[in-house]
A and B are shown apart, each in its own frame.
Chain A
Amino acid sequence: MKISGAELFIKALKAEGVKHLFGFPGGVVIPVFDALYSEPEIKVILTRHEQGAVHAADGYARSTGKTGVCLVTSGPGATNTVTGIATANFDSVPIVCFTGQVSRSMIGNDAFQEADIVGITRPITKHNYLVLDRKDLGRILKEAFTIANSGRPGPVLVDLPKDVILEKGDDEYPAKVAIRGYNPVLKGHPNQIKRAAGVLKKARKPLFYVGGGIHIAGAVELFRKAVKKTGVPVVHSLMGIGAVPGDDPLALGMLGMHGTYLANMAVTHSDLLFAIGNRFDDRATGDLSKFAPEAKIVHIDQDPVSISRNVPVEVPIVGDAHQVLEQLLPLLEAPKIDEWLEQIAGWRKEHPLEVHTGTDSGADPDGHLRPDTVIQTICRVFPDAIIATEVGQNQMWTSLFFTFRHPRSLLTSGGLGTMGYGFPAAIGAQIANPDKRVIDIAGDGSIQMNIQELATAVQNRLPVIVAILNNGYLGMVRQWQELFFDRRYSSTCLITGAECPPQCKGPGDHCPVYHPDFVKLAEAYGAVGLRVTKDRDIEPALAEAGRIKDRPIFIDFLVEREFNVFPMVAPGAGNSEMMFSEGGES
């Protein structure tokens, strides 16, 4: 039977089990949206910006492991997806992004709304396609879904010229495709796995160091078994959060720039780093010459590129974390590490994470809230929530102060560090997980980068809670300015008005009124807006938000303006050289 390209597209989505599609229409993709109009099985979520659509598909994918799908038009619609695609690419998130393109005969002629999106996204996709022949469409659609969610997952973009969308042709959507240049290794090399088990058994100061790959491979359960069997303590990267429950005695926390003292000291003194599903990113390692100087490294990763790139690896294992752990688990034996555990307990006592659980005494003279109190209260009220973050202080405070217990429960832009990611990602996650509580922990700067998606959340009756830690600054950059640029707060104050002195060095009574008023803004969109200025009101506000099931809730937490993220490893320093306050070093 001959069907149009658009009809084959619908057929492909159904065959792939796609229930939700995030999109924004435009000239050349009208025929595709037209085909979706009468498709009850596929719900189209209309975002207010294409970047929001891609982040929402990303949050949908990260929170479930299923492939997120978006559909946008040519030209500006396509170019607006770039940040979302790069975000997903950096953090290995399976997304298939469909873009419209001008008709084949017009390509290259600078036609209206034409952009070479395949050329633009080549370095930020796992793979991409321009469909130039209708007879290739079925195969390409299948390849796109196959590539996006296998091996090390990632975004795949498919550019669909208008006349390909309209052209009648073959109705075949293949059940399987073979791609000769693509066949990821899933099983680990048996000899290497034996070696890995051997070095772990002999180690006296071993550590597991886990990253996002553990979630992607669905290997959390197996990994927890490995931890139980060996008794080896665990550090994790930002993306590895949730691999073990944050309150497990063997969980030492996150390593790196804003990691815990405990994790960084343990890494620095370890004699074996048993790494799974990470890429030794610079925010995690700090100065490479001072990174785990005494440790042998075992590295299990799906992507050979990640292995031995930043640090030399003793035992490399290419494979899927789930399959490799399955092979490894029977071989694992508990090493003798009592002394090591004592040493670790010592570090834990030396610099415990400061905890302010929420009395008015923790507040600054102006009565502002402490961000750690807010986050710990969120954690207490919603311990099993899916948490999205924006990027900056809000993200690091969340990683430090929220106790994550479940896999895939933190959605955050780790690699690219995309402000404006969290809110649309939370929307995508809420659509995929209607029965769970989804909370975006945001800064007042980041939330404004995709705030238009409030309309999407209201329209779809999504009870996403957005907890804005409002300090009136682009806080992380301000923190660096305070620490390394002599408090020259250049372009980081979001309250600045015409009446401010030209070289303001900090907040005070002179500060003008903050705009926007997030409570009124939420209300203007038809959402609920709450403002919290006192410690004792944090929990009641969250409880009130928790009772709302049909609308998004913005909670404007007015936090201490110059509160910093500590501990911190200064850029370029080694992981053991941590700062605990504005002046101090370890």
Chain B
Amino acid sequence: MTHVLSMLVENHQGVLSRIAGLFSGRGYNLESITAGVTTDSQVSRITLVCKGDDNVIDQIKKQLNKLIDVIKVTDLSPLASLHREVALIKVRAKPNQRGEVFQVADVFRARVLDVGIDSMVLEVTGSSDKIDNFIAVLQPYSIREVARSGLISMERGRKQSSPPPQQRKGASEKLNDDFKITIA
């Protein structure tokens, strides 16, 4: 099953490499990974999409938690959460096809970023499913290039998962969360 893990990590050099290395070294399946800073410049958020059975996902979460630079791991899959991805898609479109492409783009609320003599670049935002569909619908126009951002995600509601900047949030909480998962 696919899981979306949202993590807060120390904004140190090498953190992304530690996480990517964990996946490659232990043979876990990593589908996408995105990173960016949070409101606290010392903390980054990494969102990753991974696949595996319950045991594997349990191990992945524990192994991530074990990394010293990882402050908190949240599995967004069982929670009510929002997921978005951005894609840029370049299609071949002769002048007589442009109208059709515009129409399709309109249905998917995609934006046209660029129009060339025989090509167009479209930008679409949405769930990964929606983007897959959009790409499928564009197939007849011969897709030249696709760039996808990977997923970014957030839990619904008022809950805040960034640590307040000054408060050194104990990792005991992190491990306790993990522990609950273990005994559930």
Residues of A within 8 A of B (CB): 118-119, 122-123, 126-127, 130, 132, 147, 178-185, 189, 192, 303-305, 307-309, 316, 318
Contact = CB atoms under 8 A, between A and B. Distances in A.
Contact of B59 (A181, A182, A192, A305): A305
Interface in B150-177: 163, 168-172, 174-176
A316 B68 contact: no
A130 B25 CA distance: 21
Given A181-B67, A305-B62, A318 B17 contact: no
B175 A181 contact: no
B175 A122 contact: no
A182 B14 contact: no
Given A181-B71, A303-B66, A318 B13 contact: no
B65 interface: yes
Given A180-B10, A185-B176, 12 more contacts: A119-B14, A123-B21, A130-B13, A130-B14, A178-B168, A179-B68, A181-B68, A183-B170, A183-B172, A304-B178, A305-B59, A316-B179
Contacts of B176: 185
B183 interface: yes
A320 to B, nearest CB: 13
A130 B62 CA distance: 25
Contacts of B172: 183, 185
Interface string B41-71: 0000000000000010011001101111111
Contacts of B71: 180-181
B96 interface: no
Contacts of B171: 179-183
Q: Which 9 A-B pairs have the closest CB atoms?
A: A183-B171, A127-B68, A305-B62, A183-B172, A181-B71, A180-B168, A182-B68, A185-B175, A123-B25
A180 to B, nearest CB: 5
A180 B169 contact: yes
Nearest to A118: B14
Nearest to B22: A123
B68 A147 contact: yes
22 contacts: A119-B17, A127-B68, A130-B13, A180-B71, A180-B170, A181-B68, A181-B70, A183-B170, A183-B171, A183-B172, A185-B172, A185-B176, A189-B179, A189-B183, A192-B183, A304-B179, A305-B59, A305-B66, A309-B55, A316-B179, A316-B183, A318-B179
B18 A122 contact: yes
A305 B182 contact: no
B12 to A, nearest CB: 9
A132 B62 CA distance: 29
A130 B175 CA distance: 26
A469 B183 CA distance: 47
Contacts of A304: 62, 65-66, 175, 178-179, 182
Contact of B175 (A132, A179, A318): A318
B17 A122 contact: yes
B175 A183 contact: yes
Residue of A122, A147, A180 with most chain B CB atoms under a 10 A cut-off? A180
Contacts of B58: 308
A127 B18 CA distance: 10
A122 B26 CA distance: 13
Nearest to A184: B175
Nearest to B181: A304
A189 B182 CA distance: 12
B9 to A, nearest CB: 8
Given A118-B14, A303-B66, A316-B183, A180 B175 contact: no
Nearest to A185: B175
A544 to B, nearest CB: 49
Contacts of A119: 14, 17
B161 to A, nearest CB: 14
A369 to B, nearest CB: 43
A192 B176 CA distance: 13
A182 B170 CA distance: 8
B169 A185 contact: no
A326 B148 CA distance: 54
Contacts of A185: 172, 175-176, 179
Contacts of A178: 168
A147 B69 CA distance: 12
B182 A308 contact: yes
A214 to B, nearest CB: 21
A126 B63 CA distance: 12
A303 B65 CA distance: 11
B146 to A, nearest CB: 31
Residue of B17, B178, B183 with most chain A CB atoms under a 10 A cut-off? B183
Contacts of B21: 122-123
Nearest to B26: A123
Contacts of A180: 10, 71, 163, 168-171
Given A127-B68, A309-B59, A181 B10 contact: yes
A123 B25 CA distance: 8
A437 B182 CA distance: 44
Residue of A183, A184, A307 with most chain B CB atoms under a 10 A cut-off? A183
A318 B180 CA distance: 11
B168 to A, nearest CB: 5
Residue of B59, B66, B170 with most chain A CB atoms under a 10 A cut-off? B66
B25 A316 contact: no
Contacts of B14: 118-119, 122, 130
Contacts of A132: 13
A94 B172 CA distance: 21
Residue of B25, B170, B182 with most chain A CB atoms under a 10 A cut-off? B182
Nearest to A313: B182
A292 B14 CA distance: 42
Contacts of B10: 180-181
Residue of A126, A182, A303 with most chain B CB atoms under a 10 A cut-off? A182
